[in-house]
Amino acid sequence: MPNPVILEGRYPSDWLKAVSHVSGFSYEEVIVASGAGKVQTGTVLGQVTATGKFKPVTVAATDGSQVAKGILLNTVDATGADAPAVIVAREAIVVMQGLLYGADVDTPAERLAVQNALRALNPPILAREGA
- Which pLDDT score, from 0 to 100, does residue 1 have? 67
CA 37, CA 56: separation in Å to the nearest integer? 10
- Which pLDDT score, from 0 to 100, does residue 66 have? 96
Question: Structure pTM?
Answer: 0.93
Looking at CATH, the fold of the domain delimited by 12-128 is given as Virus Head Decoration Protein; Chain: A, (2.40.300)
- pLDDT by 10s per residue, the chain, length 131: 677 887 888 999 999 999 998 988 999 999 999 999 999 999 999 999 999 999 999 999 999 999 999 999 999 999 999 999 999 999 999 999 999 999 999 999 999 999 999 999 999 999 999 76
Burial classification of residue 34, based on how many CB atoms lie within 10 Å of its CB (0-12 exposed, 13-18 middle, 19 or more buried): middle
The domain ranges of the chain are: 12-128
Cα–Cα distance list, 106 to 5, 39, 95 (Å):
30, 17, 17
Burial classification of residue 65, based on how many CB atoms lie within 10 Å of its CB (0-12 exposed, 13-18 middle, 19 or more buried): buried
* CA angle at 86 for the pair 28 and 102, rounded to the nearest 5°: 110
In sequence order, the 6+-apart residues with CB closer than 8 A to the CB of 4 are: none
